[in-house]
Structure 1
Amino acid sequence: MALPFPIDEPFLTGYYAPIHMECDAPNLPITGEVPKALRGTLYRNGPNPQFAPRGPYHWFSGDGMLHAFHFDEGRVSYRNRWVRTPKWIMESANGEGMSGSLTHRHLTDPALLELNSTTANTNVIWHGNRLLALEEAHAPFEVDPFSLEPRGYHHFEGKLPGKMTAHPKCDPLTGELVFFAYAARGPFTCDLMLHVADREGRLQRSLHLAAPFPSMVHDFVVTRTHIIFPIFPLTGSMERAQSGRPPYAWEPDKGTHIGILPRNGTAADVRWFVGDPCFVFHAMNAFDDGEHIVCDMMKYDVPPLFPRPDGTPVGNESPQAQLVRWTFDLTGNTTSFSERLMDSRSGEFPRLDERFAMSRYRHGYFNSAPVTEGVKGHDARGGLAHIDLTTGRTAEWLPGIGDYCSEPIFVERHADAPEGDGWLLSVVWRGSENRSDLAVFDATDIAAGPIALAHLSHRVPAGFHGNWRNALS
């Protein structure tokens, strides 16, 4: 029998509460006018647990649910489906939850542990004519791009030996997919594996690297010439995991280590830079600047959602991230790097016009609120921000109190449009109505508010990441 979800878990209530249904809405009501040139599908992914967990819940642990918004001739349709992973199927057959969360894996049923299933709950990408649902501890899980029905794990024709990051980088010039895995040769090890697939999705290259210590490496960045691996002191420990203590915990004494590798280099070519302890979940972009590497990152002084090794919180307040620019001098003898604050507001989920990924760029977009702001419910709100990285000017749109925007996704007006000329898409939770809208903004003037809203009759739970697939791709 399925048990009720606990009411005292902040990431199982309000904006974060799971929905218990799958549905299709072929023609959503529209306020305003959806541009007819906007043709394609916005896919979003996020945790939506099928059953209540065993023990305390961690937001990162819920079953993946995909939300697909399809645009055609000014109309918007919607479909949502759980990603039917092996875990989802086993728990569905069992009729109740069998898993402990990310921080309480010792409570997971041994049969489910042996299954070693993905949750496929973090990101969703279109590459090599495949739609892949991703999380960072397993191989990608393929789903049908129209029905969202499962097609199973994707191992790149058997050449991917293990797992894949939830944040691969697609080279807009070559179509290559650059990605990696951490703890690649066993749980809580120092091993990193770098992989490169061509535009058709065929694995071309794999390289083993060693990080200074076991760490959660959620994201990385790539330029035209280099790959940058950030190793932060959010450390992994098998001993802690086996003893019921936090598997991942904050150990600031280890500092921050940034490895920079030429894109065609070997493990011996990695150069390590060292900085003060900090944490980054998500990068905006990186690019080459002569003999320098520039990385724009959403930096926390301490990580949210994870404790110290003894389980105590890292602080009394929820940590907040700000957009900073790191610059690395590849010609000097120093191991240090410089940092400049790009915007003082709290933010997360940075994005850009992906046609300019890995290159010098001008326009960036992000959520202008802490990633956990939604736990405040009707007492706060989360908007969207646009930053012009050339002039430093910013623009912001804030919804009503109690409303929260998802990660902003940029869609170009047409293939040859100038950088930043297009639309910004975000799913907005309307807290007072407990339902969501899909908002369409003119990306050149987000402060003016949405030019169109597609109205859902239910809530899309707080999720993580999504991407756009053009209708002709």
Structure 2
Amino acid sequence: MDGDARINPYLTGNFAPVRSEDDFDLPVVGEIPRELRGALFRIGPNPQFEPRDPNHHWFSGDGMVHGFYVEDGKVRYRNRYVRTPKWQAENAAGRSLFGSFGNPMTTDPSALGQDSGVANTNIVWHAGRLMALEEGHMPTQMDPGTLETIGYAEAYRGRTTAHPKLDPVSGEMVWFAYGVGDMPLSAGMSYGVTGADGKVVRRDDFQAPFACMVHDFMVTQNHVLFPILPLTASLERAMSGKPAFAWEPEKGAYVGVMRRDGDVGSIRWFNTEACYVFHPLNAWEEEGRIVADVMRYDAAPLFPNADGSPGRKTAARLVRWTFDLAGNSDAIKEEPLDDLDGEFPRVDPRVETLRHRHGWYAADPTNGKTIKQGAIAHLDLTTGARQVYALPDGDLTSEPVFTPRSADAPEGDGWVTAVVWRAAENRSDLLVFEAQDIARGPVATAAMPRRVPFGFHGNWVSL
């Protein structure tokens, strides 16, 4: 499969699925700190069967969870499919049934109207539950030890985001959903809150300025920010054979700002020039303003234009958005923070919603405007100093994940873990770095006997 250039690029190389579910003890080179105990959970798309959609999109594959369990300097690996209703239906049929994003035009008639959730985008721990997330369905609860699928968290009463925010002060999980309502690909959205005890305490619906892919959002101690950017959604377009999601810069770009305890009718819409943001680094409040550091693209990558023509080749860079809540202008002030192409930005989770100093991200040291990142970067936003660890040529990294050294360690004092693909050997490694000494390279490497396909997000859980 990997060498067949005629098939979809999202099914080749390290995008190609690994369909075995395995358990391995991993040999370690170097020394994993004894204090580092827990698990790095990663998730990504991994189609169970060959997709039926000739235009299969990477984002549409079945979710597979990869667990790296670390204890006493040793590493165990386990991977399992998220057994969603879609996975179960296709497993019983022995073939693919659903089109990309559940597109009815490319879905088998027997599966029309059925649950097409893939649970492939993020995996988070909150209130003692490990949950696999995506943007169109409820969270799917997983057993953190066995990675067995427990099932939907029904209390969410519908679709949720793949990117909730965990408030380190209150313990709440703040989340949203898009495409809400009876009509697929609609402008309907929800705002929700889950208490520290795991109970959903709020879910309110509202209408965005237009229907679009809202992959992530920002949360501060007192506000939520909803980015409505022109990667638009259209059922009519999809039914005509054109892309369900496409780049339409003429729609403009908006960010809705609302108090967390406010009514959805009070959202204030700020604006900026057309752009796209998959992932913010963090956001906080200071002196009547909201400040958000985000990875900004000039145009949405990976998606076509509305007429189906290929989209622009573009990459993201870290910028700072400032929202003046006391001012009369609804324009977003923007200033650059870094000149290195990057993605998957992360902070110390203990400062999410609060002002941060340190950030880590996957980077492209060549600034080649690609989604493939061959380096890991650390940026000190107080001093402006940047450290970069470049992987050997051809190797590529996943999202770097920060873990604090202890609960009361200073911000940024801890480790960063990342899964990297070794291109020449076509397999993967787990790397462990000292978080503020990235340029030194990994202090430990746990070697996989095979590869972990490119995925999306991961989080560290202290089990």
CA contact (8 A) 2:233 2:245 kept: yes
1:92 to partner: Cα distance? 1.4
Of 216, 219, 223, which aligns to 1:219?
A: 216
Give the distance between the partners of 1:406 and 1:7, measured in 2 at CA: 26
Which aligned pairs between 1:1-80 and structure 2 lie closer than 5 A?
A: 7-25=6-24, 27-54=25-52, 55-80=54-79
1:201 to partner: Cα distance? 0.8
1:8 to partner: Cα distance? 3.0
1:391 to partner: Cα distance? 1.3
The yes-or-no answer on 1:184 pairing with 2:183 is no
User: Which amino acid is the alignment partner of residue 424 of structure 1?
Assistant: V
Which aligned pairs between 1:205-216 and structure 2 lie closer than 5 A?
A: 205-216=202-213
The yes-or-no answer on 1:131 pairing with 2:130 is yes
User: Which amino acid is the alignment partner of residue 391 of structure 1?
Assistant: T
CA contact (8 A) 1:348 1:371 kept: no
Give the distance between the partners of 2:101 and 2:265, measured in 1 at CA: 34
User: Which amino acid is the alignment partner of residue 267 of structure 2?
Assistant: V
The yes-or-no answer on 1:323 pairing with 2:315 is no
Q: Secondary structure at the match of 1:102?
A: helix
Q: Secondary structure at the match of 1:257?
A: strand
**Correspondence for 2:90:** 91
Instruction: Map Cα deviations across residues 422-473 of structure 1 (whole Å, 9 max, x no partner).
Output: 00000010000000000000001000000000010000000000111112xx
Give the distance between the partners of 1:437 and 1:173, measured in 2 at CA: 34
User: Which amino acid is the alignment partner of residue 94 of structure 2?
Assistant: G
User: Which amino acid is the alignment partner of residue 90 of structure 2?
Assistant: E
Aligned length: 458
1:109 to partner: Cα distance? 1.1
**Correspondence for 2:249:** 252
CA contact (8 A) 1:5 1:51 kept: no
Which aligned pairs between 1:236-385 and structure 2 lie closer than 5 A?
A: 236-315=233-312, 318-369=313-364, 373=370, 382-385=374-377
CA contact (8 A) 1:258 1:273 kept: yes
The yes-or-no answer on 1:422 pairing with 2:419 is no
**Correspondence for 2:165:** 169
Instruction: Map Cα deviations across residues 258-287 of structure 1 (whole Å, 9 max, x no partner).
Output: 100011111232111111000001111000
**Correspondence for 2:229:** 232
1:330 to partner: Cα distance? 0.6
User: Which amino acid is the alignment partner of residue 280 of structure 1?
Assistant: V
Give the distance between the partners of 2:338 and 2:406, measured in 1 at CA: 29
CA contact (8 A) 2:4 2:12 kept: no
1:250 to partner: Cα distance? 1.1
The yes-or-no answer on 1:470 pairing with 2:462 is yes
Displacement over 2 Å in runs of 4+: 4-8, 102-105, 110-114, 369-375
CA contact (8 A) 1:5 1:12 kept: no
CA contact (8 A) 2:320 2:334 kept: yes
Which aligned pairs between 1:145-164 and structure 2 lie closer than 5 A?
A: 145-156=144-155, 160-164=156-160
CA contact (8 A) 2:428 2:451 kept: yes
User: Which amino acid is the alignment partner of residue 390 of structure 2?
Assistant: L
1:137 to partner: Cα distance? 0.5
Q: Pick closer, same or farther for the CA change 1:458–1:115 going to 2, 3 Å.
A: same
Give the distance between the partners of 2:231 and 2:206, measured in 1 at CA: 19
Give the distance between the partners of 1:308 and 1:293, measured in 2 at CA: 32
Instruction: Map Cα deviations across residues 99-156 of structure 1 (whole Å, 9 max, x no partner).
Output: 2223955111133232223100000011121111010001111111111111111122
CA contact (8 A) 2:133 2:161 kept: yes
Give the distance between the partners of 1:181 and 1:404, measured in 2 at CA: 31
1:307 to partner: Cα distance? 1.0
Give the distance between the partners of 1:313 and 1:466, measured in 2 at CA: 30
What TM-score does the superposition give when structure 2 sets the normalisation length?
0.96
What TM-score does the superposition give when structure 1 sets the normalisation length?
0.94
**Correspondence for 2:81:** 82
Instruction: Map Cα deviations across residues 189-216 of structure 1 (whole Å, 9 max, x no partner).
Output: 2211101011111011122222111111
CA contact (8 A) 2:84 2:118 kept: yes
Instruction: Map Cα deviations across residues 352-384 of structure 1 (whole Å, 9 max, x no partner).
Output: 101000001100010002899477xxxxx6111
User: Which amino acid is the alignment partner of residue 357 of structure 1?
Assistant: E
5+ long unaligned stretches in structure 1: 376-380
User: Which amino acid is the alignment partner of residue 234 of structure 2?
Assistant: S
CA contact (8 A) 1:28 1:77 kept: yes
Give the distance between the partners of 2:218 and 2:94, measured in 1 at CA: 41
CA contact (8 A) 2:38 2:70 kept: yes
Q: Pick closer, same or farther for the CA change 1:252–1:423 going to 2, 3 Å.
A: same
CA contact (8 A) 2:86 2:116 kept: yes
User: Which amino acid is the alignment partner of residue 448 of structure 2?
Assistant: L
Give the distance between the partners of 1:91 and 1:243, measured in 2 at CA: 26
Q: Secondary structure at the match of 1:92?
A: helix
Of 383, 393, 405, which aligns to 1:413?
A: 405
Instruction: Map Cα deviations across residues 367-408 of structure 1 (whole Å, 9 max, x no partner).
Output: 002899477xxxxx6111111111111000011011011000
Of 428, 440, 455, which aligns to 2:432?
A: 440
User: Which amino acid is the alignment partner of residue 249 of structure 1?
Assistant: A
5+ long unaligned stretches in structure 2: none
1:418 to partner: Cα distance? 0.3
Q: Pick closer, same or farther for the CA change 1:202–1:6 going to 2, 3 Å.
A: farther
